[in-house]
Structure 1
Amino acid sequence: MPQAEHQPVLLDAALAGLALRADGVYVDATFGRGGHSRALLAQLGESGRLIAFDQDPDAQVHAERLAAIDERFTFVRSSFAELAERIDALGLTARIDGLLFDLGVSSPQFDVAERGFSFRHAGPLDMRMNPDAGEPLSVWLHRASHGEIASVIKRYGEEPMAGRIAAAILEARAQAPIADTAQLAAIVAGAIPAKVQAGKRIHPATRTFQAFRLHINDELGALDRALDGAFDVLAPRGRLAVISFHSLEDRRVKRFIRAQAKPAQPPVPMAPVPAAALREIGKPVRADAHELTANARARSAIMRVAERTEAPKVTV
């Protein structure tokens, strides 16, 4: 099945936010199909270097093709949760001049039914970013209790109908194993009253599928570990740019940057306020009208940028 074309989101804004130097060392923590990586390489000189991360084997295929024709590029098949350890193994701790995260699922993963991310195409109940590790959604969904399913849908999907959806899944599961993503989407849609769905522009299964994907891949936990690791890898004045696609991600990024850029007074009386370990750069950036016309998937994207100072990480 042919791969869908992937358009990198907030490309120009990301390049500007990273304040690229031709001889710098940069990290694309979410290679995907390489849109951001290729644009970064185009602005680096002969002594520049780019390291890219991705745990998706399909992304690895595209990355290895790029590595074969550009010796400035290094690919690491890994989750960005292991960012600090992998960069240390390359001898680049505290030497990274810019670090880019483009969170979420790439367009080809959504559009290729076999990956099991989409409710619009019938595919296996998988949803793993790395199909070589962890358990697919089908395994978890077969054993999870009503409370567990409802909790995941409510916590990661912010879905008010979480209890009803979980009950509908258990009822369907009791009759026969849920076959594929299309059947799961139909079960979810059937659990939400028509009056609740009326006037909504998004598919009724959107929040539930998001919740299951975040849970199966521990995406928020991985993001927390990656942001923490950013302190170890970034050089002083190194830039961190994070593109998020929903509020759960963006709130985490915002809290992380604010906690390090505006440290709170320690609970010990008269103790000095720690020096800021990050400096916020500009305001959050969203796609402009031109980009939204060309790429509808940019509509929910928001990017935050911060710069590393020489101060140590603030203990929160």
Structure 2
Amino acid sequence: MGRHPFGEYADKYMESVRGVYAEETWKNRERRYKRMGRKLIELKEAGKITTTSPKSMTPEDVRVYILYCKERQSTADLVHEVNALRKILNFVDNHAVEVCLNHNPGLKPMFKGNRRKNVMSEDVYERILEKSKTIDPTDFNMVRAYTLVLMCINAGTRNKEIRFAGVRDLDTTSWIFEIVHVKGEETYGQPRKVPIPPEIRQLILTYLLARQKWLVDNSVKSQALFPSKDSADGFLSGNAIRKIKEVVEADLGIQFDLRECRRTFGQRYLDSDLDIESVSVLMGHASTKTTESFYSRKRMDKAVESAKRTWKDCGGQ
């Protein structure tokens, strides 16, 4: 082993779990270990820990590392950081993380508070939808951007799911969109189908015509719903998807992220009184607990409206 062996152990651990984690999860974990290695080297060179070797780290080294990260990372990210450190130390039969947390019970990161994130307001959604009806159908970049964003909102797709979508996954007769390349597709993830609402169907048809012309004009052969002329596999990168989304942001002078689009998908269905079980299935969640805890719950004003409707059903005002 070299002077700073963490990276070598990390490589061995990551190779052992290749094919166990989904590809995107594997890449994220690999990046985390690279960052972790750099932080450990910094602490070792500052004389704050005794080693960077996962095999030799002591509970005190772990304590120093967690405290170091605690000042620089969110609680949610720290939970993932400690879990990743535990996994690589356990891989070499070192249980220093467990010992450290047992001896320092207040050190274990605990996520508290509301896990729900913001969703897109109805006003913003209506602005996007209305503008999509007035854009120049020959402006490929604009048509593509609005189609992508509105599909993310109305199909509840993750970045990966929309970028790896195939044109054949979208049935424009039944208007069912089959999401094949889901999160955790190589392990726990299951393909799912979502209906495409009438309000964006004409835009999608316009985009499909523009897409076909773009393929011909650029001499590209691709089955991707949102094709790339630069990548070997014909699919856009995750960053390219975000750049396309930014076209809508710049056009309307607003800001949102793709995760917000996905949460809005669940929120809109819940607000329209679709049962939580169906929303959970459409979002690709294993249980309704995830849907309720992390993504969406009926908005307060919508809940009040639903409550008032029960009065009318019972003859009240």
> Which TM bucket (shorter chain)?
under 0.3
Larger % of strand: which?
Answer: 1
Give the greater-gyration-radius structure (CA). Answer: 2
- Greater relative contact order, per chain length (Cα 8 Å cut-off, separation 6+): 1
- TM-score, scaled relative to structure 1: 0.27
- TM-score, scaled relative to structure 2: 0.27
